[in-house]
Amino acid sequence: MRELSNSIKKLVVWPLAGFVVVCLLLTYWQVVAAPQLNKAEQNNRSERMRRRVQPGRLLTSDGLVILDAREGAEGWERAYSDSEAFCHLTGYNSRSGLQKTLSEVLYAQGRYAHVWEDILHGRQVGNDIHLTINSKLQQRAHRLMRGKRGAVIAMDPRDGALLALYSAPTYDAATITKSEEAYNVFTYDPAKPEINRPLQGMYAPGSVLKIFTAAAAIDVGVADPGKKLHCAGVERIAGTLVRCRKAAGHGDLTLRRALADSCNVAFAKLGDELGPDRFRSYVKKFHLLDAADLPLPTSTGRMADFKGFKGDMQLVEASFGQGATLITPLSIARLTATLARGGEVVQPYLVDHVETPAATRLPSSQGKELGRAVSPETAQAVAGMMRSVVEHGTGGVADIRGVQVAAKTGSAQNPSGDPHAWFTCFAPYDEPVVVVTVLVENGGSGARTAGPIAVEILRAALETTG
Ligand SMILES: [Zn+2]
């Protein structure tokens, strides 16, 4: 009996073992290895497909074609114009910049496909993308930032349209893709030209963040522009030694004066009075640390959590833009725009519209409403204080003829050397149509280094917007 049962076992076990082996092999090929195989096949296939389709172009709002398509020996190829000014928008191949993120649009795939138009054309043609960027502003930013590292942003605060989005250092897409050697030089460049600094650069905001602290304090009702404060130059606040940029101290001063003169001690006291919970709630309301909803990689900001035994110290430092706070230039531009437009948070956007080969306009997916950060009265009060920065304070460089500018300067200490220079501003003061934010890495004084660049971009933007 035992023998019989053994031979039955053998009969069952061997086929069963074989079955298990086959199952394992199938699982391996279909589940474990499949994504890899698919990718390789898809890569070849999609590259071949890419070259067959005439891809769409990227155009600025004033009609400059910054990414074109030309027919070469092996099919359609990309051509760039004035690449050093626009490379961070176009990218340098199908795996970078808007060429990557808007590939579906440019190659008319998925919901951007238009089969009937292709049949009428007799071939597959992609869609053109019209950006909100003004070529003149972008090119001017490129000229002004020569030899510097940093970011220039111009935005229409009324709707969030980005008029300039420039990153330095820059590169020429055509040159770096010419040879492997050129590409290696680009990749290992210590200045990291591939980083799109306005959206990905993380910087200590320094004094430009004081407009946020002022807005939060005014909005909760612990301050108004006339609030009386005192600065002795060096003071211990919530256990932290705070040094004002004016070593002898400002003495008695109002909040308006404290912003105009960029007094650290006054703002440290204001942050301490505001407390961690209220400070944090306004960080959320302003979407201060949130990545923007743009078709390019955007970094999320960082700030201390104000908890534990270091919490009070962290809050005091954050109140004047130092400590653990790191933020993108776009966040500062958005903060400025929010105050310029009466307290409603703005959603920046880059694509104005998409156009099919038959000139049909497809609606671009514009971002959702982000709500209100502060009351119109609060926004107006802070805007007025920013006007004082220009008229009587550190932002005198923006006191220009013919237009009233409101601004804030910043020189942010950082571990990489000289302070980063910030300048953020909007104009005209009464009815803002342009916000400009400039950051120059290790530029020292915001007023001296970033200020003149911001003012020139602002002037040019006011000319183009009329
Ligand atoms: Zn002071």
Domain assignment present for 127 = no
pLDDT band at 27 (very low <50, low <70, confident <90, very high): very low
Domain assignment present for 4 = no
Give 271 Cα–ligand 1 centroid separation in angstroms. 14
Give 375 Cα–ligand 1 centroid separation in angstroms. 28
| pLDDT given for residue 15 in this prediction | 55
Token digits for 159?
């709707």
Give 19 Cα–ligand 1 centroid separation in angstroms. 80
Range of the domain at 313: 200-350+372-465
Give 392 Cα–ligand 1 centroid separation in angstroms. 15
Give 396 Cα–ligand 1 centroid separation in angstroms. 18
Q: Say yes or no to pLDDT of 177 above 80.
A: yes
Give 246 Cα–ligand 1 centroid separation in angstroms. 6
pTM, full prediction: 0.88
Residues 6+ apart with CB under 8 A from 207: 262, 264, 320, 321, 408, 409, 410, 411, 412, 422, 446
Mean pLDDT on 114-132: 84
Give 240 Cα–ligand 1 centroid separation in angstroms. 15
Give 259 Cα–ligand 1 centroid separation in angstroms. 10
3-state secondary structure of 60: coil
Domain assignment present for 365 = no
> 400 and 455 in contact (C-beta within 8 Å)?
yes
| pLDDT given for residue 192 in this prediction | 95
Give backbone dihedrals phi and psi of 208, rounded to 5 degrees, phi first. -65, -25
Domain assignment present for 37 = no
Unique residue bearing structure tokens 């172009």: 57
Q: Which CATH number is 378's domain given?
A: 3.40.710.10
Give 6 Cα–ligand 1 centroid separation in angstroms. 93
| pLDDT given for residue 53 in this prediction | 85
Give 321 Cα–ligand 1 centroid separation in angstroms. 15
Give 385 Cα–ligand 1 centroid separation in angstroms. 16
Give 244 Cα–ligand 1 centroid separation in angstroms. 5
Give 230 Cα–ligand 1 centroid separation in angstroms. 8
| pLDDT given for residue 455 in this prediction | 97
Give 207 Cα–ligand 1 centroid separation in angstroms. 12
Domain assignment present for 312 = yes
Residues 6+ apart with CB under 8 A from 422: 203, 205, 206, 207, 208, 332, 408, 409, 410, 411, 412, 437, 438, 439, 446, 450
Give 266 Cα–ligand 1 centroid separation in angstroms. 6
Reported as a single tens digit per residue, the pLDDT across 104-114 is 999 998 888 88
Q: How many domains does the chain have?
A: 1
pLDDT band at 20 (very low <50, low <70, confident <90, very high): low
Domain assignment present for 237 = yes
Give 137 Cα–ligand 1 centroid separation in angstroms. 36
> 206 and 411 in contact (C-beta within 8 Å)?
yes
Give 249 Cα–ligand 1 centroid separation in angstroms. 5
> 410 and 423 in contact (C-beta within 8 Å)?
yes
Give 265 Cα–ligand 1 centroid separation in angstroms. 5
Q: Is pLDDT larger for residue 120 or for residue 108?
A: 108
| pLDDT given for residue 427 in this prediction | 98
Give 255 Cα–ligand 1 centroid separation in angstroms. 11
Give 231 Cα–ligand 1 centroid separation in angstroms. 5
Q: Say yes or no to pLDDT of 5 above 80.
A: no
CA distances from 149 to 193, 196, 449 (A): 9, 11, 12
Rounded CA-CA distance 127/129 in Å is 7
Reported as a single tens digit per residue, the pLDDT across 381-440 is 999 999 999 999 999 999 999 999 999 999 998 888 899 999 999 999 999 999 999 999
Give backbone dihedrals phi and psi of 99, rounded to 5 degrees, phi first. -60, -35
pLDDT band at 35 (very low <50, low <70, confident <90, very high): very low
> Worst-scoring range by mean pLDDT, 175-184, 192-201, 454-463?
175-184
Q: From edge to edge, which strands make up the β-sheet containing 150-155?
A: 162-168, 150-155, 434-440, 417-427, 406-414
Mean pLDDT on 344-365: 87
By 3-state DSSP, what share of the chain in percent is helix, strand and coil, each rounded to 5? 45, 20, 35
| pLDDT given for residue 352 in this prediction | 94
Domain assignment present for 7 = no
Give residue 425's region: left, alpha or beta (phi > 0; psi -120 to 50): beta
Would you give the DSSP letter of residue 161? B
Give 423 Cα–ligand 1 centroid separation in angstroms. 20
Residues 6+ apart with CB under 8 A from 6: none
pLDDT band at 367 (very low <50, low <70, confident <90, very high): low
The per-residue b/e assignment along 400-432, b for 16 or more CB within 10 angstroms, e otherwise, is eeeeebbbbbbbbeeeeeebbbbbbbbbebeeb
| pLDDT given for residue 122 in this prediction | 74
Rounded CA-CA distance 436/424 in Å is 6
Give 258 Cα–ligand 1 centroid separation in angstroms. 7
Give 64 Cα–ligand 1 centroid separation in angstroms. 48
| 69 bridge partner residues | 78
Give 214 Cα–ligand 1 centroid separation in angstroms. 15
Give 413 Cα–ligand 1 centroid separation in angstroms. 17
Give 224 Cα–ligand 1 centroid separation in angstroms. 18
Give 200 Cα–ligand 1 centroid separation in angstroms. 32
Give 400 Cα–ligand 1 centroid separation in angstroms. 27
Domain assignment present for 62 = no
| pLDDT given for residue 273 in this prediction | 95
Q: Say yes or no to pLDDT of 37 above 50.
A: no
The per-residue b/e assignment along 27-46, b for 16 or more CB within 10 angstroms, e otherwise, is eeeeeeeeeeeeeeeeeeee
